[in-house]
Amino acid sequence: MELARFLHGAPDSCTPGLVLRHGASYDAFAAVFFGGRRRHVYTKLAELSGLTAGDQILDMGCGPGYFTRILAGAAAPGGSAVGVDASEEAVAQARKVTRLANCTFVDGVAEAIEAPDGTYDVVVTSLMMHHLPEDLRPRVVEEMFRVLRPGGRVLIADFRPPASRIGRHIVGAITGPMMRNTAVDLLEPMTRTAGFEQIVTGDVRPWMHYVQARKPAR
């Protein structure tokens, strides 16, 4: 199987984006990809989300649920995390390996979350945006805004390509052009256009760029 297709999924009738397959194998690859720092990276991203115990959290494009479980652990006691993904296979794998009572998973697409306005305290997504067509990404950020309560927080994290041409070439050779050309510089303006404020951007080594922001309280 071509590695790029393995990492980024395949077209599916449920969404214009790509849908991840092979959840268990994806988790194994991710452990290697982060060079033993996966737990550190996602724990840091959870901290950057601003979540506190008791929060209700949505993880959009959760895949096999690795980040969702970290979020659920940080939200206890009293809080919970829901992971949403368009891949039935990934959701099934997430349910299979999850043992946390406050961590659940549902099938769904990021551009049309089945939740009322203002449902969640925190909405996060990681390594999902580059799976989506460029014209769909602003709609997904708007959906994050919609399902957040006033004053709620968002964290959007995606792969940060290497700065050097050689580094980008290596990434492209291994993973395909999608990750070589991830436009992380567009995440901040999309977040601002959707209506978020108090926007902060940064990097978590080795690979992640993030945007954190808040929905206005009124």
Stronger pLDDT, 34 or 128, i.e. the higher one:
128
Output the CA–CA distances (angstroms, integers) from residue 7 to 3, 28, 113, 130, in the order listed.
Answer: 6, 11, 23, 11
Partner residues linked to 203 by β-bridges: 209
Distance CA 59, CA 62 (A): 6
For 45, the token pair is 């991203």
**Confidence at residue 1, expressed as pLDDT on a 0 to 100 scale:** 41
Residue with tokens 């964290």: 155
Residue 79 has pLDDT above 80, yes or no: yes
Query: Which pTM was predicted?
Result: 0.84
More confident call, 177 vs 112: 112
* In CATH, 3-214 is 3.40.50.2300: no
CA distance linking residue 92 with residue 65, whole number of Å:
10
Could you read off the pLDDT of 85-127 as tens digits, one per residue? 999 999 999 999 999 999 999 999 999 999 999 999 999 999 9
Q: What is the model's pLDDT at position 186?
A: 93
Give me the mean pLDDT over the 60-87 stretch. 97
**pLDDT at residue number 93:** 93
Q: Yes or no: say if 210 and 156 are a contact pair by the CB < 8 Å rule.
A: yes
Count CB neighbours of 205 within 10 A. Answer: 12
Residue 211 region by backbone torsions, left for phi larger than 0, else alpha for psi between -120 and 50, else beta: beta
Closest CA to 209 of 137, 103, 127, 148: 127
Which one, of 110, 58, 52, lies nearest residue 82 by Cα? 58
| Apex 115 CA angle, 15 and 134, nearest 5 | 35
**Predicted pLDDT of residue 208:** 92
Q: What is the pLDDT of residue 196?
A: 98
Q: Which residue has the higher pLDDT, 207 or 217?
A: 217
Rounded to an integer, the average pLDDT of 177-195 is 83
**What count of residues does the chain have?**
218
Query: pLDDT exceeding 90 applies to what percent of the chain?
Result: 67
If pLDDT is split at 50, 70 and 90, which confidence band does 189 have?
A: very high
The pLDDT value recorded for residue 127 is 92
Return the residue matching tokens 């996060």.
124
173 pLDDT above the threshold of 70? no
Q: Is 57 left (phi over 0), alpha (psi -120 to 50) or beta?
A: beta
Residue 128 has pLDDT above 50, yes or no: yes
